[in-house]
Amino acid sequence: MELEETSFMGAFISGGKLLTHVHIAGLKERIIPGVHRDADNYVDGFKGLKLIGYRGAVSFEGGWPKNPEDPKKGLPQEERIRLIRNMVTLLREQWAMA
């Protein structure tokens, strides 16, 4: 949606009651939100969801960034847990700001 829309809020308001599902991913890369914290700003979209009284599902992209120490290996479990906690914190903060 980032590529097609000028405003997340406007798109959600336009969808209104027809909107039944929202999918969130990192805005700089299609990975878990919060890895690129400066780019992952969902406040505008959250404002739109609040304005339409959205109560449907929100899913999150589950891709992981590459392991900087060894790009062929996945991230260690501890790092994945840290990233999930950071994502939840970021989204809660931005929901409150909306």
- CB atoms inside a 10 Å sphere around CB 24: 19
Give the type of residue at 20.
T
Number of structural domains in the chain: 1
- Domain limits at 23? 8-97
- Per residue in 47-97, pLDDT tens? 999 999 999 988 987 789 988 888 888 899 999 999 999 999 999 999 999
Residue 3 lies in a domain: no
Which pLDDT score is estimated for 40?
94
2 or 73: which leads in pLDDT: 73
Residue 34 has pLDDT above 80, yes or no: yes
Which pLDDT score is estimated for 2?
58
Rounded CA separation 15/9 (Å): 10
Which pLDDT score is estimated for 4?
73
Residue 2 lies in a domain: no
Three-state SS at 55? coil
Residue 11 has pLDDT above 80, yes or no: yes
